[in-house]
Amino acid sequence: MKIKLAKEEIESASIHQLQRISGEDLKKCYQCGNCSGGCPVSFEMDIAPSQVMRFLQLGKIEEVMKANSMWVCVGCLQCYSRCPKGCSVAAVLEGLRQTVLRKGEDFEKIKEIPIPFLEKAPQQAIVCGFRKLVS
Amino acid sequence: MKIPYYPGCTLNTFAKSFDESARSSALEIGFEMAELKQWNCCGATFPLTPDNLIALSAPAKVLSNAGKEGDTLTTLCSVCYNVLKRTNKVMRDNREKRSTINGFIEEEYDGAVNVLHFLEVLRDKIGFDKVKAAVKRPLTGIKTGAYYGCMLLRPFEDMGIDNAERPTVFENLLKALGAEPVEFPNRIECCGAHLAMNNEEVVTKLSGNVMTSAVGSGAELIVTSCPLCQYNLEKSQDKVASRTPGYTGVPVIYFTQALGLALGQPIETLGFEKNVTDVMPLLKKKGIV
Ligand code: SF4
Ligand code: SF4
């Protein structure tokens, strides 16, 4: 894939903000791919965890924001657990979710959550789902 | 001995059998799980973004209440355990965050409580040998897969209950109960967690991987320590069976139900009828009941 790099994008305010919110230094990642290998949902992600890190290192936050990766991450911390550099893709993805949710934009509309789920599911699934997907 | 106990919102309702079988088993072994006089939901997720202090206030309140009743707090749900233990570390080690959170919840909590999972209480405070000595109905011959999931083990430096890649605590308990533990590849992988809310397909795939991995390794029974793992695994059974040639399902129960069973408690008190999968045929086949 051919992409054009720009210094302004690599050092953009949104990249800085993401690093601040997530507490992660994106440059630390050296692209070994362990996170993508260990991630149980990378098969479902538009952009796999290690690629998320690479896109962000190159300032391509728009591409990552458009991808479903942050919304299908289950927060299992397998990526962090296996990263030889101590990076937490999980925290980066949460930082991206928070960027959306803190603007008051829901990913999951409460009205659209199926009633049978709300009646039958354990409370913790509902509380956790709201935390991750609803503003 | 009395140990302050935090049930959490799910164990008080959806997962009542998890709660009840643990409490009665504790009494059988010789200690009491004393429910905190006052508690609230822990929030069911530890915030991964370190600036999100508001999400730490609910678990900090629980810990602060626990601190008024003793120096230890035990819990059963892996997620509650994860959230409380990690929050406690922040309250203990980070002066600035501690002061902000305490100011918000109007408490003076300093992280002094020792948060223990029920498995740790059995292993470190009681001892698996004592548990073994209390067994009246050994689970002989039941090949059992212990499903750890994520939150009990990760991140290792915060949880520290066991090796995050090759844990043994669960298997050692199963051995003490007379069962035959089966280590299976997906025992530390995710069940799909909160995606139960909006992505059934992924949950079916992940939970299916866990169950077929266990059965493929010879397991006849799976035990869990989290109501959400329990829910996702049970709910996925039929779909997984319809898609996987040779897979016909596997009973899934809380590990405390297996404990209560081994300790000789009356079957009807263990809440097996609330499980979606039926464990009784297996227990009959093995001559346990
Ligand atoms: S495991 Fe760590 S270093 Fe390797 S690609 Fe993933 S984030 Fe980068
Ligand atoms: S936390 Fe998210 S990105 Fe990391 S391994 Fe789990 S699902 Fe994948």
Ligand 1 in reach of A34 Cβ (< 6 A): yes
Ligand 1 in reach of A48 Cβ (< 6 A): no
- Considering only CA atoms, which of B130, B112, B171, B177 is closest in space to residue B31? B130
Ligand 1 in reach of A85 Cβ (< 6 A): yes
Q: Which architecture does CATH list for B135-285?
A: 3-Layer(aba) Sandwich (3.40)
Degrees (nearest 5) of the Cα angle B158, B161, B167? 120
Contact A44 B196 (CB under 8 A): no
Q: Please write the tens of the pLDDT for every residue from B98-130.
A: 999 999 999 999 999 999 999 999 999 999 999
* Low pLDDT (below 70) residues in chain B: none
| pLDDT digits (tens), chain A, 135 positions | 788 899 999 999 999 999 999 999 999 999 999 999 999 999 999 999 999 999 999 999 999 999 999 999 999 999 999 999 999 999 999 999 999 999 999 999 989 988 888 999 999 999 999 999 999
CA A88 to ligand 2 centroid distance, Å: 9
Contact B9 A123 (CB under 8 A): yes
For ligand 1, atom 1: residue with the closest CA: A83
Q: What is the pLDDT of residue A43?
A: 97
Contact A75 B193 (CB under 8 A): yes
**Helical H segments across chain B, by residue range:** 16-29, 54-67, 78-93, 95-105, 118-120, 128-133, 156-159, 169-176, 200-216, 227-243, 255-262, 280-285
CA A31 to ligand 1 centroid distance, Å: 5
Whole-angstrom CA distances from B5 to B32, B65, B256 are: 9, 11, 15
Q: What is the pLDDT of residue A3?
A: 82
Amino acid letter, residue B27? L
Here the tokens at position B170 are: 């669960």
Contact A75 B45 (CB under 8 A): yes
Q: Please state, in angstroms and rounded to a whole number, the distance separating the CA atoms of residues A19 and A26.
A: 7
Amino acid letter, residue B6? Y
CATH topology of domain A7-103: Fumarate Reductase Iron-sulfur Protein; Chain B, domain 2 (1.10.1060)
Q: Please write the tens of the pLDDT for every residue from B207-239.
A: 999 999 999 999 999 999 999 999 999 999 999
Look up the ipTM and state it.
Answer: 0.95
**Are the C-beta atoms of residues B275 and B252 closer than 8 Å to each other?**
yes
Domain boundaries of chain B, sorted by first residue: 2-119, 135-285
Name every residue whose Cβ is closer than 8 Å to that of residue A7 and which is 6 or more positions away in sequence: none
Chain B residues with CB within 8 Å of chain A CB = 8-10, 13-15, 41, 43-45, 47-52, 55, 77, 79, 150, 154-156, 164-165, 189-190, 192-199, 202, 205-206, 209, 227-228, 230-231
Give the nearest ligand 1 atom to A49 CA.
6
Considering every ligand atom, which ligand is closest to the CA of A132?
A: 2
> DSSP letter at B181?
E
Q: What is the pLDDT of residue B100?
A: 98
Domain B2-119 has CATH 1.20.1050.140: yes
Domain boundaries of chain A, sorted by first residue: 7-103, 107-135
Q: What is the pLDDT of residue A2?
A: 82
Residue B211: CB atoms within 10 A of its CB come to 28
Contact A124 B9 (CB under 8 A): yes
Q: A9 CA to chain B: closest CA distance, Å?
A: 23
Could you write out the three-class secondary structure of chain A?
Answer: CCCCCCHHHHCCHHHHHHHHHHCCCHHHCCCCCHHHHHCCCHHHCCCCHHHHHHHHHCCCHHHHHHCCHHHHCCCCCHHHHHCCCCCCHHHHHHHHHHHHHCCCCCCCCHHHCCHHHHHHCCHHHHHHHHHHHCC
- Considering only CA atoms, which of A80, A104, A99, A105 is closest in space to residue A29? A80
